[in-house]
Amino acid sequence: MAAGPQGSGVDSAANIFGRACCYGGLHVYGKREYHSNIKGLHSYFHIRVSKKEVFADVDRIDLLCAFDAESVVRHIFEVAPGGGVICDADALATGIFAIPTWPQPFVDEFRGILNSKGIKPETVGDLLKEVGKNEVHTYAVPYMTLLQEIATEIGEPKLSRLTRMINVLALGASFGLVGYDKAPVERAIKAIFGDKPKVISMNLLALKKAYEYAKQKFSGSGHKLDVIHTDEKRMFIQGTQAAALGKLAGGCRLQTYYPITPAADESEYLEENEVLQLEQSAVEQGGGSILIMQTEDEIAAINMASGAALTGVRAATATSGPGFSLMVEGLGWAGNSEVPIVVTYYQRGAPATGLPTRHAQSDLRFAMHAAHGEFPRIILCSGDIEECFYDAARAFNYAERYQMPVIHLIDKALANSNRSCKMLEPQLVKIERGQLLTETDVQGKEYKRYQLTESGVSPRLPLGTPGTVFWNTGDEHDEQGHISEEPMMRMRMYEKRMKKLETADKEIPVSERVSFYGDQDASATVVSWGSPKGAVLEALERLGHEGHKLSFLQVRMPHPLPKEYFGEVLGKAKKKIIVEGNYSAQLAGIIKERTGVDMDYYVLKWNGRPMSSDEVYEALKLIMQDKAPERQVLTHGT
């Protein structure tokens, strides 16, 4: 774990660390936690490194790489026996209760912990001595002395100009301690500071200093990390990047957004790459681009996307809970006017401002029911970073085929975690535009935008197509799109719209809506959606080694939910366990509503932190041992 005050380079240190491990053939999963703050408050990156692919976070810390005193104190009791703490030698004398950024409740809680352990440390050094008895080793590195040496070497008179490199010193010390090959770390530094040669050379020097210091001083640490060879092509990617890439491959050409955590990263990444490259076969098309519009608010964002989508372009917006709350009226307009728009919805702690930078999965019901009245929509939810990519692309297919809003639910844990995985495969993306007419289809004919049809889907014509015109309105309307309050027309148009959801339910195969892992005759079935997927799969693997056979039903399209399939699978399941990141078990409620099937066990979490595979494992194990209460609430996380 890399931990320090915000603004001290925790992010770049973690990225360098992650990339360096990836370059060395290792797999990485990095979970990022931060306050709603720019400078000063505590943040950390918990990075798991493994020879095998990693899908989730765990509770344990083997090596705590602390940039400041608070980071030591905050996480000290998470460090596993035999683990180590790399910290600033100067921080050892800091009084534990003299750390200004500590919130009072945490101080009180920490006093309680110390009391329960029967220890009374005054300083960080005392605390480290105490845990030392528990086989947690301290590796104190004199950051300021090393910086002074660097300053002298490069002739920098002001030491304060170099303090931002403490992150790389800490990183260098970590790699030195575990004896990792320095070359991939150097490569990672070059990759992260890409176009700044001076910054690169300074950081390489910092790496060298700390690396050599640690290698020499802590040679017998027993911690070891080695590069391994792999022929597999892999990437190191964040959730928001995967969703953005999915949109590009899926043909999105206009995206609107208003700045909000944790969604904004996606739009910024798209804007950086607004001029698109096209496949060789398509270069004569005249150049591709995606237009990113930062709007004045989320109300403008969704409605601008709708206005654009009317012209036939694939348009999307990306937001988080508070933004989606503002979008709701516009969502209803798109539903009523049958406009294919995609809303990428990054859930975070709620309600109101809630926990702006923290994790939650509490908006499934909201996404399903948002806006007054009844209209069809499709909801997709991704369970991992790769699914973010493929779902982002296919969301447009559903939106256009059924001419309705598609809400793609992602969550903070996916948005802000980085993972190594095999390369995304854009060739697996298929573009299906539904019944999209062109000029020749309407030539000399009367065009009715809302023609009543059996499937409910009326052939769609882009606004601006020569030779005809059409009308749209948020009012109830006739086939031409003019206002109509006639009861018969009202009924027929209403039914036509709603019919599209039945058509989608019939046409979209179950395989695109759920993923099933394990055997149908398993002794228990876990049901979940969104980011707990990784933790569930890892927990199931561990339980499998212990002789417990569980299956996992991952819901990727909670609306419309494939009713018969669920009835069948859950009807056979011996123990039904729901795992989700909210208080009221929202998905369990939807399943009950659609199928009448109740869950036997509930594993829930709403403390603002993602599920770790350890805690999911513990909870499931209790259930398998018949020792669990009906409802278990998970609490891991700092």
Partner 1 sequence: MALKIADFRTPVFVDWCPGCGDFGILSAVQMALVDMQLAPSKVAIFSGIGCHAKLPHFVNVYGIHTLHGRTLPFAVGAKLARPDLEIIAVMGDGDGLGIGAGHFVNTGRRNIDITVLIHDNGVYGLTKGQASPTLKLGLQTKSLPKANINEGINPIALALAAGYTFIARSYAYDVRHLKDTIKKAIQHRGLAVVIIQQPCPTYNDINTKEWYGGEDRLDPKTGKPTPRLYKLEETDYDGVVRKPEEVFPKYASALSKAQEWGDRIPMGVFYQNELVPTYEDRILKRIPTYLQNPPAKQTISDTEGKPITSIKKMLGELQVTGLAEGKGNT
Q: Looking at residues 241 to 260 of the shown chain, list those that interact with partner 1 (rule: CB under 8 A).
A: 241, 245, 248-251, 253-254, 256
User: Given the complex with partner 1, which of 23 and 566 has the nearer CB atom?
Assistant: 23
Residues 422-461 that bind partner 1 (CB under 8 A): 423-424, 426-427, 429-433
Tell whether residue 633 is a contact of partner 1 (CB under 8 A).
no
Q: In sequence order, which residues have a C-beta less than 8 Å from that of residue 110 and are 6 or more positions away?
A: 73, 96
- Look up tokens 């975070």; give the residue: 348
* Of 229, 372, 445, 545, the one binding partner 1 by CB under 8 A: 229
Tell whether residue 239 is a contact of partner 1 (CB under 8 A).
no
User: Given the complex with partner 1, which of 144 and 436 has the nearer CB atom?
Assistant: 436
Smallest distance, Å, CB 533 to partner 1? 21
Tell whether residue 295 is a contact of partner 1 (CB under 8 A).
yes
Tell whether residue 632 is a contact of partner 1 (CB under 8 A).
no
Smallest distance, Å, CB 232 to partner 1? 6
Q: How far apart are the first and last CA of the chain?
A: 12
CA distance 392 to 245: 8
User: Given the complex with partner 1, which of 317 and 357 has the nearer CB atom?
Assistant: 317
325: β partners: none
Tell whether residue 420 is a contact of partner 1 (CB under 8 A).
yes
User: Given the complex with partner 1, which of 55 and 602 has the nearer CB atom?
Assistant: 55
User: What are the tokens at 289?
Assistant: 């681009």
CA distance 581 to 489: 43
Tell whether residue 233 is a contact of partner 1 (CB under 8 A).
yes
State the SS3 of 62-125.
EEEEECCHHHHHHHHHHEEEEEEEEEEHHHHHCEHHHCCCCCHHHHHHHHHHHHHHCCCCCEHH
> Do 13 and 41 form a contact (C-beta atoms < 8 A)?
no
Angle made by CA atoms 80, 41, 131, in degrees to the nearest 5? 25
Smallest distance, Å, CB 474 to partner 1? 6
Smallest distance, Å, CB 483 to partner 1? 7
CA distance 406 to 331: 10
User: Given the complex with partner 1, which of 81 and 194 has the nearer CB atom?
Assistant: 194
Tell whether residue 175 is a contact of partner 1 (CB under 8 A).
no
Tell whether residue 195 is a contact of partner 1 (CB under 8 A).
no
User: Given the complex with partner 1, which of 83 and 332 has the nearer CB atom?
Assistant: 332
* Of 104, 216, 285, 625, the one binding partner 1 by CB under 8 A: 285
Tell whether residue 312 is a contact of partner 1 (CB under 8 A).
yes
Tell whether residue 352 is a contact of partner 1 (CB under 8 A).
no
Residues 34-63 that bind partner 1 (CB under 8 A): none
Smallest distance, Å, CB 534 to partner 1? 19
For residue 250, the surrounding DSSP H or E stretch is none
> Do 528 and 578 form a contact (C-beta atoms < 8 A)?
yes
Instruction: Name the segment binding partner 1 (CB under 8 A); options: 68-76, 228-236, 582-590, 623-631.
Output: 228-236
User: Given the complex with partner 1, which of 47 and 162 has the nearer CB atom?
Assistant: 47
Smallest distance, Å, CB 585 to partner 1? 34
Smallest distance, Å, CB 493 to partner 1? 15
Task: Identify the DSSP state of 195.
Answer: T
* Of 164, 234, 448, 549, the one binding partner 1 by CB under 8 A: 234
- Look up tokens 């309050």; give the residue: 485
Tell whether residue 273 is a contact of partner 1 (CB under 8 A).
yes
The packing angle between helices 143-154 and 166-178, to 10°, is: 110
Surface-to-core class of residue 433, CB atoms within 10 Å of its CB (0-12 exposed, 13-18 middle, 19+ buried): middle
Smallest distance, Å, CB 15 to partner 1? 11
* Closest by CA position to 45, among listed 347, 416, 349: 416
Smallest distance, Å, CB 45 to partner 1? 17
CA distance 518 to 619: 19
User: Given the complex with partner 1, which of 171 and 429 has the nearer CB atom?
Assistant: 429
CA distance 391 to 35: 29
Rg (CA), the chain: 27
* Of 136, 305, 457, 555, the one binding partner 1 by CB under 8 A: 305
Instruction: Name the segment binding partner 1 (CB under 8 A); options: 100-108, 117-125, 268-276, 356-364.
Output: 268-276
User: Given the complex with partner 1, which of 13 and 579 has the nearer CB atom?
Assistant: 13
Smallest distance, Å, CB 476 to partner 1? 12
Residues 379-418 that bind partner 1 (CB under 8 A): 393
Smallest distance, Å, CB 240 to partner 1? 12
| Cis amide bond preceding 262, omega within 30 | yes
CA distance 216 to 177: 9
Instruction: Report the b/e string of 474-509 with b at 16+ CB within 10 A.
Output: eebbbbebeebeeeebeebbeebbebbbebbbeebe
DSSP track, 476-523: -B-TTS-B---HHHHHHHHHHHHHHHHHHHHHS-GGGTEEEES-TT-S
* Of 192, 207, 263, 290, the one binding partner 1 by CB under 8 A: 290
Smallest distance, Å, CB 130 to partner 1? 39
* Closest by CA position to 13, among listed 180, 182, 214, 170: 170
* Of 300, 404, 579, 628, the one binding partner 1 by CB under 8 A: 300
Residues 587-626 that bind partner 1 (CB under 8 A): none
Residues 457-486 that bind partner 1 (CB under 8 A): 462-475, 481-483
Angle made by CA atoms 192, 193, 196, in degrees to the nearest 5? 160
CA distance 461 to 287: 23
Smallest distance, Å, CB 188 to partner 1? 9
Q: How many residues bind to partner 1 according to rule CB under 8 A? A: 91
Smallest distance, Å, CB 181 to partner 1? 9
How many CB atoms are closer than 10 A to CB 89? 16
Surface-to-core class of residue 441, CB atoms within 10 Å of its CB (0-12 exposed, 13-18 middle, 19+ buried): middle
DSSP track, 287-316: -EE-EEEE-SSHHHHHHHHHHHHTTT-EEE
User: Given the complex with partner 1, which of 417 and 586 has the nearer CB atom?
Assistant: 417
Tell whether residue 286 is a contact of partner 1 (CB under 8 A).
yes
Tell whether residue 506 is a contact of partner 1 (CB under 8 A).
no
Smallest distance, Å, CB 174 to partner 1? 19
